[in-house]
Amino acid sequence: MTTMTDPPQASFKLSMLLNDTRYRSYTFQFIALILLIAAIAYLGSNLAQNLREAGLNISYGFLGEPSNYDINQRLIEYDSRSSHWRAAVVGVLNTLLVAFLACVTATIIGVIAGVLRLSNNWLVRKLMAGYVEAFRNVPVLIWILIIYTVMTAVMPSPRDFRGDDADASMVLGSFAFTNRGVYTPKPLLEPMGWVVVGIFIASIIGMFAYRRYATKLLYDTGKLLPMGWPSLAILFVPAILSFFVLGRPISLEYPELGGFNFQGGIQVLGSLIALWFALAIYTGAFIAENVRAGIQAVSKGQTEAAAALGLRPRRIMNLVILPQALRIIIPPLISNYLNITKNSSLAIAVGYMDITGTLGGITLNQTGRAIEAVLLLMLFYLVISLSISAVMNVYNNAVRLKER
Amino acid sequence: MNKTVFLGALTVAGLSAGAAAAATLDDVKARGSLNCGVTTGLVGFAAPDANGEWDGFDVGVCRAVAAAVLGDPTAVEFVPTTGKTRFTALASGEIDMLARNTTWTFSRDVDLKFEFTGINYYDGQGFMVPKDLGVSSAKELDGATVCIQTGTTTELNLADFFRSNNMSYEPVPIETNAEAQQNYLAGACDVYTTDASGLAATRAAFEDPSAHVILPEIVSKEPLGPLVRHGDNEWGDVVRWTLNALVAAEEYGVTSANIADMAAEPTDSPEINRLLGTEGNLGEMLGLDADWAMRAIAAGGNYGELFEKNIGENTPVGLARGLNAQWTDGGLMYAPPFR
Amino acid sequence: MSDMHQHSVAYVRETMLPEAPPPAREQGIIKWMRENLFANVPNSILTIASIVVIYYILAASLPWLLNGIWNAESIRDCREILQGAAGGCFAVLTERWNQLLFGFQYPDDQYWRPLIAFLLLFVAIAPVMFFKYIPSQFLLFTALYPFLAYWLIWGGLILAPIVALVGFVVGYFVWGRLVQRSFATGFFGAVAAAVIVWWIGGLITAGMDPEQAMLVPVASRDMGGFMLNLILGTVCVSLSIPIGIALALGRQSSMPIIKWICVVFIEFIRGVPLITLLFVANVVLAYFFPPGTNFDLIIRVIIMITAFASAYIAEVIRGGLAALPTGQYEAADSLGLDYAQAMRLIILPQALKISIPGIVNVAVGLFKDTTLVSVISMFDLVGMIRGPILASTEWNGVYWELFGFAALLFFVVCYGISQYSQWLERELTTDHK
């Protein structure tokens, strides 16, 4: 016991390990370490013994085997001959896709609802309060199931689009809302089409450069350049011009009814939509509360002071309130993004093939490699979470009030 | 104090935790009840009724084993398992046997270390489509959307079938039969595929079963049977021979109606006598008493009676005996001799 | 000038005019509407849009609610009665009421037991929730409640919970004796005493005949329905608060090894979704128990959810600890208090008070997350709906009524708790201002 902590002085007594605060912390840490090692060893030996008794082993060899199952939403090439590993990658991409879509949508919904909750319109305020309370206080799983039920049980099936007096018809002749998902037109790019896309991306960069320049000019010289119309012009005019000059190299492929389903176009699966919207609306309610709290946290004195300086209301919002409110809003916003990513694992309830559905679902079932699959699954989510937390820490450090 | 709360709660909780592994037969006897894994609900095979009583064909096997071992067909704890949880539940000793229409495959037997104790239903994977779709063969399903229950051999067979016929399809994986049903009925998929028996059972629960047809193609062999853990042969024998006793009883004409008379005194047939324990000591060899098989058969009837009562042609499920008839009637049900 | 005025004006009013009522558009409901609904053009558009939204929601839901059928045998009966009119088939709720609340395996002549346990729950948590208004003597009942509730819900020998209780009581007295010497001595002495009592008690109960139980024992796996959600929610939250406090203190600790153990645990748990932890409970955890033991699924799930909740509660409490002014720590040190005393008497009471709203939020979130157990084939409220009820021939196709009911139940509970949390926040902040 004493071997760990070398007695530095001759007068060292054993009882000092407990009673002397200088050494006590070593004693405690030593005990904690021993307990931890003992616990790990105990669990590990149990695991080894259980596995030996069941005649199983731990091996990740199954990842290289053909998966033998199909996945309905593949962002990369995949078929039933691909390996379990590739199936897991397909799942990862599907997770990231739904998480990204839900984050963007939740932010939009949340900001709108949060701002409207502070509106001076009584009815809107109450309506938004109703939305926030209804969604915050009901489990997200129930919302996912409800929206999934809407998607599968209420929407018309492709069959209903058939015939002359069909029960359902396509919206604008190009969007089909069915219980298998939503079919939208798909842009087809000829080689020249990429040029148009390139020009559009360049315009976006150009627009930001212009805005930056205008701001700098304003701060340096006080000269005010118009912002709104020039930005829009930079954004759209070159792209539209090049589109027509190059002879319309981008066309749309419309979904058409053929065989059992709609063919062509982009199919957005019902399970994806259910998950996407349920997560977005649910998390949007939380974001709305954050936004409201953030705006309210900026003291009224700030608004009044800005008004006293002669700033116009919009500038008060942009230059005084928002920068301060964002400092409060963004950290919980990012942790809400984290929650979306983690909650997207509920995909398993609606059959969306995210990582939990492929690696933690079918692969686990077919290979019976429960420990390996669950470990890998946890590792993936851990990596995602830690990277998002890292981003959050960087941001927090950047916006922290510089004290003294 | 804080930690003691947690430890205390664990200790209290631990009082209810029992022991398993190794000698399952002794554990079951000591516990006084059989833990039997079943599906979360498939009409005809295993489903709780409105009173919460489990009922069905697989349930009948569990009850027969409980009657043989414990003398009480109601001494069964039914543990509902999904496709994902069933094997872990069995491997970890949470359940003593799994009777959850599980397909006997090489890798489950050898790699996952389980022991299939026989086959209580010869099945194959089929397809169900709405009648108004006008499809009469599975070969016409190119491009269809197919609902599958995940965690089964079904999705593998499906992938193989469509691949070998060079057809495309869109799988809709679904966790439970209830949701698959909901999706299929709403038209979110054109086809529902699972074991043909499961299809019949599902169709039986529909409002208008006649509006749906089960396609003639059977794309796989699905021998379904109860299974136990590897390495406990005594327990495996009990389950295997209980199942065989049910099958043999039908062959010899022993039914739940006449079993009391037959067991009362030795009959002319030595085979029946050995089965019912009026002759020989088969029960003793199993580690049970002499009239174990009598109780197992009396619990829910012989194999044929169980079949007719739960999934036979006069039930909503309406399955024909087909491959599951006795070998004497041209089926595959063939119990090894009781001697 | 003033003279002129005096003479040129024939009459000067000498009394004030009576106050006239404000113009019609500046009073009463019209003024309120002008200010709150139609202040300007965008505002009016918003108002009209909101009215349209509300109209659509009501138009869709009101007939469905009012025409609802409460008495029918199956969904086909409902459709027959409704004859195509809009209306809900609420008969499923009345017919499956007990299954929704208690699951399908809890013995039906014993429903009164969880019911009493549920009602007593309010009595038990009232002294904690309204600690300002209810004398602290009532906390004694709160302390007794877990044992009482365990006995009521699980049944069996009353001796088991009594032994557990006696263990705690003995532990408490030993702690009270030894704590003057040092916190550690008291703590470990209490643990040792309690373990000894449980061990002896275990021997006694093992020798008893389980047939003599006053209440029929009910196995854990027979729990189901909303009851299961409530059990998981209350048990896991109450277990995770002490663990969360320990983790938070560990994370704040100056001892690097203890700090890192806590950090790794907290960050790991917070980094993975609850569902993967439930998978662990379901398919992996059994491999980590000693060979031959076997815990019920519900206990494995409780272990994992508790671990999950304690990591989140630890973070909330850490926030509370960090929010305390450094002066409080320094003041405690300057009084000569050791670490355990300082924490117990100075820091934690204040930190916990700040953290209560956060803890309540975690509790609400956790309670909602208990529905996830339906994914691992446990029959909680959502599991009952998705499994046995929707799969049954009678009720195949009744989605809205069932999910609406589930949503309503959760809404009532969670909204109630969050209103309480807001009330508490107001209560607690008054003395700072």
Q: What is the pLDDT of residues A335-368, one digit of tens each?
A: 899 999 999 999 888 888 899 888 888 888 888 7
* Contacts B231 to A, Cβ<8 Å: 53, 55
In a domain, A28, yes or no: yes
Q: Give me the pLDDT at residue B2, please.
A: 40
Residue carrying the six token digits 């708790």: C417
Range of the domain at A309: 84-181+270-399
Nearest-CA residue of chain B relative to C375?
B175
Residue B234 in contact with partner chain A when CB distance is under 8 A: no
Contact: A180, B145; criterion CB under 8 Å: yes
Q: Give me the pLDDT at residue C4, please.
A: 53
In a domain, A36, yes or no: yes
Nearest-CA residue of chain B relative to C286?
B92
| Bridge partners (DSSP) listed for residue C294 | B18
- Please tell me the total number of residues recorded for chain B in this structure: 339
Average pLDDT over residues C219-224: 81
Per-residue pLDDT at B138 exceeds 80: yes
Q: Give me the pLDDT at residue B18, please.
A: 37
Q: Are residues A374 and A344 in the same domain?
A: yes
Q: CATH topology of B21-122+223-324 equal to that of B125-220?
A: yes
Per-residue pLDDT at B20 exceeds 50: no
Distances (CA, A) of A15 to A25, A354, B129: 13, 57, 80
CB < 8 Å from A in window 47-106 of B? 83-84, 87-88, 91-92
Which residue from C161, C337, C69 is spatially nearest to C329, judged by alpha carbons?
C337
Return the amino acid letter for C18.
P
Dihedral pair phi/psi, residue B84, rounded to 5°: -80, -40
Q: Which of A79-93, A95-109, C260-274, C417-431 has the lowest mean pLDDT?
A: C417-431
Nearest-CA residue of chain B relative to A352?
B173
Q: Which of A313-322, B207-216, C391-400 has the lowest mean pLDDT?
A: C391-400
Which residue from C102, C131, C96, C132 is spatially nearest to C114, judged by alpha carbons?
C102
Average pLDDT over residues C322-333: 87
Contact: A50, C267; criterion CB under 8 Å: no
Q: Give me the pLDDT at residue A282, please.
A: 94
In a domain, C373, yes or no: yes
Q: Are residues A238 and A378 in the same domain?
A: no
Alpha-carbon gap, residue A203 to B66, rounded angstroms: 76
In a domain, A261, yes or no: no
Nearest-CA residue of chain B relative to A350?
B174
Q: What percent of chain C has a predicted confidence (pLDDT) above 90?
A: 19
Alpha-carbon gap, residue A58 to A52, rounded angstroms: 10
Domain formed by B125-220, architecture: 3-Layer(aba) Sandwich (3.40)
Q: Are residues A282 and A351 in the same domain?
A: yes
Per-residue pLDDT at B8 exceeds 70: no
Q: Give me the pLDDT at residue B240, please.
A: 93
Distances (CA, A) of A362 to A348, A351, B25, C375: 10, 11, 33, 14
Q: How far is A231 from chain C (nearest CA, A)?
A: 25
Per-residue pLDDT at C248 exceeds 50: yes
Q: Which of A391-400, B11-20, B323-332, C77-86 has the highest mean pLDDT?
A: B323-332
Q: Are residues A283 and A249 in the same domain?
A: no
Per-residue pLDDT at A283 exceeds 50: yes
* Contacts B179 to A, Cβ<8 Å: 351
In a domain, A47, yes or no: yes
Q: Tell me the per-residue pLDDT of C146-177, one tens digit each, with 9 for 90 and over.
A: 888 888 888 877 777 888 888 888 888 888 88
In a domain, A60, yes or no: no
Segment B103-106 long-range contacts (CB within 8 Å, at least 24 positions apart): B103/B152, B103/B153, B103/B222, B103/B223, B103/B224, B104/B223, B104/B224, B104/B225, B104/B227, B105/B153
Q: Tell me the per-residue pLDDT of B28-80, one tens digit each, with 9 for 90 and over.
A: 888 888 999 998 777 788 888 777 788 899 999 999 999 999 999 999 988 88
In a domain, C178, yes or no: no
Q: How far is A157 from chain B (nearest CA, A)?
A: 6
- C355: CATH: 1.10.3720.10
Alpha-carbon gap, residue B274 to B270, rounded angstroms: 6
Last residue of a domain, one of C32, C66, C100: C66
* Contacts A32 to C, Cβ<8 Å: 255, 257-258, 261
Range of the domain at C40: 24-66
Q: Tell me the per-residue pLDDT of A8-37, one tens digit each, with 9 for 90 and over.
A: 555 666 676 666 667 777 888 888 889 999
Per-residue pLDDT at A4 exceeds 70: no
State the alpha helices, DSSP H only, in A118-227.
Answer: 122-136, 140-149, 191-221
Q: Give me the pLDDT at residue C7, please.
A: 60
Alpha-carbon gap, residue B253 to B39, rounded angstroms: 30
Q: What percent of chain A has a predicted confidence (pLDDT) above 90?
A: 23
Q: How many structural domains compose chain A? A: 3
Nearest-CA residue of chain A relative to C284?
A371
Q: Give me the pLDDT at residue B113, please.
A: 83
Q: Give me the pLDDT at residue B5, please.
A: 39
Q: Which residues contact B314 (CB under 8 A, 6 or more apart)?
A: B308
Neighbours of chain C (3+ CB pairs under 8 A): A, B
Q: Please, are residues A121 and C43 in contact by the beta-carbon 8 Å criterion? A: yes
In a domain, A159, yes or no: yes
Average pLDDT over residues B253-280: 86
Q: Give me the pLDDT at residue A164, please.
A: 64
Q: Which one is predicted more confidently, C110 or C397?
A: C110
- A91: CATH: 1.10.3720.10
Q: Give me the pLDDT at residue A281, please.
A: 94
- Going from N- to C-terminal start, the domains of chain B cover 21-122+223-324, 125-220
Give the pLDDT band (50/70/90) at residue C432.
very low
Q: Give me the pLDDT at residue B9, please.
A: 41
Contact: B179, C386; criterion CB under 8 Å: yes
Distances (CA, A) of A262 to B137, B241, B312: 21, 53, 40
In a domain, A262, yes or no: no
Q: Are residues A304 and A206 in the same domain?
A: no
Contact: A357, B173; criterion CB under 8 Å: yes
Q: Give me the pLDDT at residue C277, please.
A: 92
Structure tokens at C139: 């906390």
Q: Give me the pLDDT at residue B117, please.
A: 92
Residue A83 in contact with partner chain B when CB distance is under 8 A: no
Q: Give me the pLDDT at residue C209, please.
A: 62
Q: Are residues A379 and A292 in the same domain?
A: yes
| Bridge partners (DSSP) listed for residue A179 | A181
Last residue of a domain, one of C15, C40, C66: C66
Q: Please, are residues B5 and B47 in contact by the beta-carbon 8 Å criterion? A: no
Q: Give me the pLDDT at residue B90, please.
A: 86
CA pseudo-torsion sign A299, A305, A310, A315: negative
Q: Tell me the per-residue pLDDT of C4-26, one tens digit each, with 9 for 90 and over.
A: 555 666 788 888 888 888 777 77
Contact: C243, B2; criterion CB under 8 Å: yes
Contact: B172, A149; criterion CB under 8 Å: no
Q: Which of A347-356, B2-11, B193-202, C103-112 has the lowest mean pLDDT?
A: B2-11
Q: Give me the pLDDT at residue B127, please.
A: 92
In a domain, A338, yes or no: yes
Residue carrying the six token digits 């339906």: C374
Return the amino acid letter for A147.
I
Per-residue pLDDT at B10 exceeds 50: no
In a domain, C279, yes or no: yes
Q: Are residues A47 and A91 in the same domain?
A: no
Closest Cβ–Cβ partner in C76, C202, C294 for B92: C294
In a domain, C322, yes or no: yes
Per-residue pLDDT at A258 exceeds 80: no
Residue B208 in contact with partner chain C when CB distance is under 8 A: no
Which residue from C119, C142, C118 is spatially nearest to C130, judged by alpha carbons?
C142
Which residue from B122, B123, B120 is spatially nearest to B65, judged by alpha carbons?
B120
Contact: B189, A180; criterion CB under 8 Å: yes
ipTM rounded to 2 decimals: 0.86
Per-residue pLDDT at A226 exceeds 50: yes
In a domain, C155, yes or no: no
Please, how many CA atoms are within 13 Å of residue B215, restricted to the half-sphere of its CB? 23
Q: For chain C, what is the mean pLDDT? A: 84
Fold designation for B21-122+223-324:
D-Maltodextrin-Binding Protein; domain 2 (3.40.190)
Q: How many structural domains compose chain C? A: 2
Nearest-CA residue of chain C relative to A120?
C36
Q: Which one is predicted more confidently, A370 or A2?
A: A370
Contact: B47, C299; criterion CB under 8 Å: no
3-state secondary structure chain C: CHHHHHHHCCCCCCCCCCCCCCCHHHCHHHHHHHHHCCCCHHHHHHHHHHHHHHHHHHHHHHHHHHCCCCCCCCHHHHHHHHCCCCCCCCHHHHHCHHHHHHCCCCCHHHCHHHHHHHHHHHHHHHHHHCCCCCCHHHHHHHHHHHHHHHHHHHCECCHHHHHHHHHHHHHHHHHHHHCCCCHHHHHHHHHHHHHHHHHHHHHHHHHCCHHHCCECCCCHHHCCHHHHHHHHHHHHHHHHHHHHHHHHHHHHCCCHHHHHHHHHHHHHHHHCCHHHHHHHHHHHHHHHCCCCEECCHHHHHHHHHHHHHHHHHHHHHHHHHHHCCHHHHHHHHHCCCCHHHHHHHHHHHHHHHHHHHHHHHHHHHHHHHHHHHHHHCCCEHHHHHHHHHHHCCCCCCCCHHHHHHHHHHHHHHHHHHHHHHHHHHHHHHHCCC
Q: For chain B, what is the mean pLDDT? A: 84
Closest Cβ–Cβ partner in C283, C299, C388 for B85: C283
Per-residue pLDDT at A257 exceeds 70: yes
Alpha-carbon gap, residue A59 to A52, rounded angstroms: 14
